[in-house]
Structure 1
Amino acid sequence: MFEKRFRDRINLQQLEGLHRNPPVIEKREGRFVTIKGQKVLSFASNDYLGLGASHQLAAQVGKHFKAFGSSASSSRLVAGNYQTICRAEKTFADYFGYEDALFFSSGYQANLAILSTLFEKGDILIFDKHVHASCVKGITLSGAGLKGYRHNNLKHLEKRLEALNCKNRGVVTESLFSMDGDLLPIKPFGDLKKKHGFYGVVDEAHAFGVLGDKGRGIAKGVTDIALGTFGKALGLFGAFVLLPRGVKEYLMNFASPLIYTTSLPQAHALAAVAALELVEQADNARKIVKDVSESMGETLIREGFQVFGNAHIISVLMGDEKKAAQVSRDLLSLGILAFSARFPTVPLGKAILRLGMTALHREEDIKTFVNALKTVV
């Protein structure tokens, strides 16, 4: 019975153009990966500053794991609350301008923990309809009343706030949206927060490291909580949440996704601080990311493609799911890796090619990609 269900659903995914069958990456060298022995130019990475391919960071990571071992060997609340980790969290809080911070094993786990724990029945959560799947899962598990608002439409958000005029209201959004590539209108969002007094949760996973002064993001001062990940611009793995004073203690006492999992090791905390130091020094890399992103977007628009995104995530509209998947396969045959985002990652009928621009990309890579895309579309 189960086998038939699994087989039938996979067959349906294939018929609808929604089947996932990611290529096997044999190795990575900078902006290139090797697939089936072929060197492929990748636009599918979130390694925005190139730190994930950095030999300097890799040496630091190796040094710390050699010195401190490979595992915390315990959950945070039993025997995994190392001084090294606490100090690293304080370093992150200070750098990004928040009162406290807490490390998690992944961004998904972090969003699940903060949203399912800090909000409960009787509260109201108002969320941008394009927030990450981990946010959706977290707010669903919270038990709070839920209301979505149209993507990045702050007038619609204000209508929601006026209609739901209760005491305990939270708003969940992103600063740089992971698929659309557009930015949260920071000043209008901050104005709404001042006017309506909601509790703000902003996912800055794709902004931290790249946007704002020294990569500090764009939502400081307009949100209570901000989420970041190590696995994108910081070139590592895991996640961190930036918090007001007192919330860390609350999460450590009540957040199941944190309580019932093994802590990240001490070596990771030290490696995270090393990555943060490299981020602080990465002004040149941030300029390269900005320049190549603008060039890619402008070139695609000139060639007649429908393009979204005003930072280092660029979405090229394909529309049909089968078309998007086929274009991605055709690009791969020409030596280019580009991710086709399809339902449910994006709305049905709104499939895209999602491009992650990095400091490793060059102007000639843009020409290569656009010429190849014109060939296969």
Structure 2
Amino acid sequence: MAISTCSPQTASWLDEFPARIAALDDSHLRRRRRVVRPENGARLQVDGQSMLAFCSNDYLGLANHPALIEAACAGAQQFGVGAAASPLVSGHSAANEALEHALATFVGLPSALYFYAGYATNIGIIPALVGQGDAIFSDALNHACLIDGARLSRAQIHRYAHADLAALDEALTLSPARRKLVISDAVFSMDGDLADVPALLALCERHDALLLLDDAHGFGVLGPQGRGCLAHFGLSGANASPRVLYMATLGKAAGVAGAFVAGSDALVEWLLQKTRSYIFATAAPALLASALHTSLQLIEHDEWRRAHLNQLITRLRRGLAERLQDSAWQLGASLTAIQPLLIGRNDEALAVMEGLRERGLWVPAIRPPTVPDGTARLRIALSAAHTEADIDELVQALGELAVARQPADALG
């Protein structure tokens, strides 16, 4: 059989990629990776340069904790390095089983299911819960994994304006679907604001809907002993609702890797049976589960980490309010470890990032499509590993750059 080929006169669509990459450059939207190595505290070696980093989601400073490293090594000695099979074959180790029980207890819900990654969790559990003929109600600023999970489900998607509960109420009222699923970040990853979880739950109660909360940026940080957004609002333990499905990642404040979903026994059992990203993927290695056992203990008992982090948040916000009062740059209203500084244009955000890099500070510039057009920003991520001196250094540098770049400061 002859194999057809493009004629010399017919350009292949594969030839378009260099021009498409160049278009990214023209729009200041091309991303690049950096090669990093951890140093002491909140410092990273970035492409060979030692830098003070404000980019990590390691909110409690646990990612390089000696106790976690020791636990991971012990887990590797006991269980080996890889799980070697999916959880429903032979990949579900005794360490993973024990971790699921510990996670459920920690967040005050009946059952938990441990996944190898947060993105895989949400893109898998949403299609397992709803499908064609059902309805999903999604906050406009939800993380990409929630958005992609909703699309994969083939349910009808209703996108409501960020935190607009009146719009959500109306959409729920008008929907004829029998099965309704409301999905929302708990702490929004680019703005740092907190969803009104009690109000969301009240709407779900009123409209017979299920509420899926992604607490990736709240677990370990919010609530008593870092037990997450449900504990923060008093909605865990005896006050837990069967209408809530709680998801959180374990590679941020917990400092390791993976994710979990927790809820009623029936919901979690259904997800175990029907979530394709759980059933058809190799299980998370047991050595990570071993490290996470230790991480949970540190999260629970090291209250000083959250107290210190909150002090740093207050110090940063006060400092920037003073230094940027005459600047067009806008600091978001976040009270969490995620502090967005809105710059506006893509090129300007990159220029400010570069100005900080020249001063030995690494703060990432976040641009569309991660955030809406015209809202490019610096995403300042704080950690308990930072010191007050680190915060003061960043505030001073941003103040200097704001003055130097004042003529170019304009949102839009």
TM-score after normalising by structure 2: 0.88
How far, CA to CA, are the matches of 2:14 and 2:114 in structure 1? 39
Give deviations 1:265-305, integer Å, cap 9, x for gaps. Answer: 22222221111111101211000111101221222222224
Give deviations 1:88-116, integer Å, cap 9, x for gaps. Answer: 10111111111111111111000111112
> Are the aligned partners of 1:30 and 1:53 in contact in 2 as well (CA < 8 Å)?
no
* Rg larger in structure: 2
Matched, 1:257 2:268: no
Partner of 1:53: 64
Distance 1:120 1:36, change over 3 A: closer
How far, CA to CA, are the matches of 1:157 and 1:301 in structure 2? 33
Partner of 1:153: 164
Partner of 1:162: 173
| SS of alignment partner, residue 45 of structure 1 | coil
| SS of alignment partner, residue 44 of structure 1 | coil
* Counterpart pick for 1:5 among 16, 32, 38: 16
Partner of 2:363: 338
Distance 1:84 1:33, change over 3 A: closer
Cα RMSD (Å) of the superposition?
A: 1.6
How far, CA to CA, are the matches of 1:364 and 1:11 in structure 2? 40
Alpha-carbon distance, 1:2 to partner: 5.3
Structure 2: gaps of 5 or more residues = 1-11, 403-412
How far, CA to CA, are the matches of 2:385 and 2:310 in structure 1? 12
Letter in 2 for 1:283: E
Partner of 2:5: none
How far, CA to CA, are the matches of 1:321 and 1:123 in structure 2? 38
> Are the aligned partners of 2:190 and 2:340 in contact in 1 as well (CA < 8 Å)?
yes
How far, CA to CA, are the matches of 2:134 and 2:101 in structure 1? 30
* Counterpart pick for 1:23 among 4, 26, 34: 34
Partner of 2:99: 88
Alpha-carbon distance, 1:3 to partner: 4.7
TM-score after normalising by structure 1: 0.96
Give deviations 1:47-79, integer Å, cap 9, x for gaps. Answer: 000001212221221221122210111111211
Partner of 2:261: 241
Partner of 1:120: 131
Matched, 1:362 2:387: yes
Alpha-carbon distance, 1:13 to partner: 0.8
Partner of 2:247: 227
Partner of 2:400: 375
How far, CA to CA, are the matches of 1:270 and 1:164 in structure 2? 45
How far, CA to CA, are the matches of 1:286 and 1:200 in structure 2? 27
> Are the aligned partners of 1:173 and 1:202 in contact in 2 as well (CA < 8 Å)?
yes
* Counterpart pick for 1:190 among 201, 204, 211: 201
* Counterpart pick for 1:349 among 358, 374, 387: 374
Structure 1: gaps of 5 or more residues = none
Alpha-carbon distance, 1:328 to partner: 1.1
> Are the aligned partners of 2:220 and 2:228 in contact in 1 as well (CA < 8 Å)?
yes
Alpha-carbon distance, 1:200 to partner: 0.2
Distance 1:27 1:213, change over 3 A: closer
Matched, 1:14 2:25: yes
How far, CA to CA, are the matches of 1:252 and 1:198 in structure 2? 21
Distance 1:2 1:277, change over 3 A: farther
> Are the aligned partners of 1:49 and 1:282 in contact in 2 as well (CA < 8 Å)?
no
Matched, 1:297 2:317: yes
> Are the aligned partners of 2:71 and 2:287 in contact in 1 as well (CA < 8 Å)?
no
Matched, 1:269 2:269: no
Alpha-carbon distance, 1:158 to partner: 1.4
Letter in 1 for 2:293: V
Partner of 2:405: none
Alpha-carbon distance, 1:22 to partner: 2.7
Partner of 1:72: 83
Give deviations 1:326-366, integer Å, cap 9, x for gaps. Answer: 21122111100001111111111111100111111122212
Letter in 2 for 1:230: L
| SS of alignment partner, residue 11 of structure 1 | helix
Partner of 1:142: 153
> Are the aligned partners of 1:294 and 1:311 in contact in 2 as well (CA < 8 Å)?
no
How far, CA to CA, are the matches of 2:110 and 2:378 in structure 1? 38
Alpha-carbon distance, 1:165 to partner: 4.8
Letter in 1 for 2:40: E
How far, CA to CA, are the matches of 1:4 and 1:323 in structure 2? 31
